[in-house]
A = this chain, B = another copy of it.
Amino acid sequence: MTNLTDFITYEDLAIGQKFTAGPQKVTEEDIIAFGKQYDPQDFHTDPVKAKDTVFGELVASGWHTACLAMRMIVQASPHMKGGMVGRAVENINWPLPVRPDDSLSLAVEITELRTSEKSPERGLMRTKNTVTNQNSEIVMEMDAIVFVPRRMA
């Protein structure tokens, strides 16, 4: 297990490296605020009305979970600030809902690294990202393809 803050440029990375971030607590207030702003459906905005929905309770928007994962990544990697730019994301899954007072953690593993002649100033890193709750249950998985600056000559 390596601390992400050790990673400065593409040259410091290797396939198989893992790091973790969090925990990140999610409150009912957080869930409702996000829901009202970006995903205004009863199961994300109203604990009472949520009882009559498919979830039967208030749950976080899947996009909220994705955004919290992004915050954990950034907070865990101050030395990459200014340089970590998402190119694409693949295969986001939400196997279980996030509920009020859940505490989320993020595990990241580097699964691919590549450079291109077209953009010699940066490389591409593919990561497998797994968000779990306080019971170690997976609530979100995704593959992210991220630009990483290379050490310039």
Contacts and interface: CB of A to CB of B under 8 A. Distances in A.
A82 B53 CA distance: 6
A94 interface: yes
Q: Secondary structure at chain A's binding surface: helix, strand, loop or mixed?
A: mixed
Interface string A34-46: 0001111111000
Interface residues of A, number: 38
Contact of A71 (B38, B52, B92, B94): B38
Contacts of A41: 74, 81-82, 84
Contacts of A92: 88-90, 92
A93 interface: yes
Most B Cβ at <10 Å: residue of A43, A53, A63, A68:
A63
A54 B83 contact: yes
A85 interface: yes
Contacts of A81: 41-42
B88 A40 contact: no
Contacts of A85: 43, 54-55
Interface of A: 37-43, 52-55, 61-63, 66-68, 70-71, 74-75, 81-94, 122, 147, 149
16 contacts: A37-B67, A38-B67, A39-B67, A39-B71, A40-B71, A40-B74, A41-B82, A52-B82, A54-B83, A54-B85, A54-B122, A54-B149, A66-B66, A86-B94, A88-B93, A90-B92
